[in-house]
Amino acid sequence: MDTANTQIVVPTGSSLEARKQRIALLFEEIITNNRLELADEIFADDFYWPQFDLRGPEGVRTWVRAFRTAFPDISDMVQEQTAEGDLVVTRVECIATQLGPFRGLPPSGRKATFTAIGIDRFRGDKVIERSAHFDIVDLMRQLGHTELVVPAVSKP
């Protein structure tokens, strides 16, 4: 399906359900379908991702471009979400083939399935801060990388 011309409806409001739906769009549309334009509707201008020192919607686009360079066939599907107060926690299943460099690891051409957890903090209906966590050792094993090289965490 050609997603480039498909209109995406971004949920409005700051209810917990609307916030969860907005984060689902991050994984299932922005990352999986490369719908980078949606970052402006989901992330605040003062958004900050401390793990990678990325800011604003453009910082999200920078990270997605780097991730999709490494894994152009990425499928990021929401498995579970919980929301309370200003936080949304999301568990996703990622299935992807490493065709480009990732965090200092050369392309392996191998496919991996791994789980990631995202924690997003909202102000109103926009995300203002995020962190993401996954088991990099398991991912490296699946991709066939046998030496642990600890990459810098300042950039994606």
Q: What are the pLDDT tens digits along the chain (156 aa)?
A: 455 567 888 888 889 999 999 999 999 999 999 999 999 999 999 999 999 999 999 999 999 999 999 999 999 999 999 999 999 999 999 999 999 998 888 999 999 999 999 999 999 999 999 999 998 889 999 999 987 666 666 555
Cβ(10)–Cβ(41) below 8 Å: yes
Residue 17 amino acid letter:
E
Q: Give the pLDDT of residue 9.
A: 84
Cβ(155)–Cβ(52) below 8 Å: yes
